[in-house]
């Protein structure tokens, strides 16, 4: 019994550390107060700036909790393949997540950012599917993340379209 708790604790701590690292990296790269960002033609349907930190806090929390649970359960069940595959999918997802901020805000490559956003949306849907294979409730818990990244892809792509030279 204590061994299962150790798996749970290490899985939750590992998932949380990975998600927090991603959030910090993305936050460091993101600066919507720059003259460059303010000069971009953005669609009217873009949410107000205050929505983004609230949405991302909720999404990052769900990613950490769901991923910690999936990793703990697959480890406790001895399902090494599913554990390894979910962990790899999570790492890829988090790299894409932070990568978008760097492509958009730091590199100012709107086309590349749109491609990264599309890959992130696909990766988020995959992560939700993988979590759902472990427990349907966990998959449902990641659906808002998948929906948000799909919305973000549409937004990023529209900003790119409006600001091409």
Cα angle, residue 7 at apex, residues 1 and 14 outer, rounded to 5°: 160
Helices (H) and strands (E) in the chain, counts: 7, 0
Query: What average pLDDT does the segment 63-83 reach?
Result: 97
Q: How far apart are CA 159 and CA 32, in angstroms?
A: 14
Mean pLDDT across the stretch 90-94? Answer: 99
Residue 4 has pLDDT above 90, yes or no: no
Angle at 157 between CA 56 and CA 116, to 5 degrees: 65
Do residues 157 and 117 touch, judged by C-beta distance below 8 A?
yes
3-state secondary structure of 11: helix
Domain around 42: 2-162
Q: Which of 30, 21, 51 is nearest to 104 (CA)?
A: 30
C-alpha distance from residue 36 to each of 30, 52, 81, 115, 163 (Å): 12, 19, 45, 20, 11
**73: closest CA among 88, 81, 83?**
83
pLDDT tens by residue, 24-33: 999 999 999 9
**Mean pLDDT computed over 147-154:** 99
Q: pTM of this prediction?
A: 0.93
**9 pLDDT above the threshold of 70:** yes
106-135 pLDDT, tens digit per residue, is 999 999 999 999 999 999 999 999 999 999
Length of the chain: 165
Tens of pLDDT, residues 15-24: 999 999 999 9
pLDDT at 2: 47
CATH number of 13's domain: 1.20.1260.100
Question: Domain total for the chain?
Answer: 1
């Amino acid at each position: 019994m204590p061994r299962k708790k150790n798996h749970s604790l290490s899985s939750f701590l590992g998932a949380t550390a990975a998600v927090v690292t991603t959030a910090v990296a993305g936050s460091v790269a993101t600066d919507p107060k720059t003259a460059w960002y303010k000069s971009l033609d953005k669609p009217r349907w873009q949410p107000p700036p205050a929505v983004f930190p609230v949405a991302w806090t909720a999404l990052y929390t769900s990613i950490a909790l769901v991923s910690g649970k999936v990793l703990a359960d697959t480890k406790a069940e001895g399902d090494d393949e599913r554990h390894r595959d979910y962990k790899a999918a999570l790492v890829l997802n988090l790299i894409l997540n932070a990568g978008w901020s760097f492509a958009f805000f730091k590199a100012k490559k709107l086309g590349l950012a749109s491609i990264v956003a599309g890959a992130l949306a696909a990766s988020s849907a995959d992560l939700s599917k993988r979590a759902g294979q472990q427990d349907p409730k966990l998959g449902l818990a990641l659906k808002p993340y998948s929906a948000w990244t799909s919305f973000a892809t549409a937004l990023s792509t529209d900003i790119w379209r409006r600001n091409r030279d």
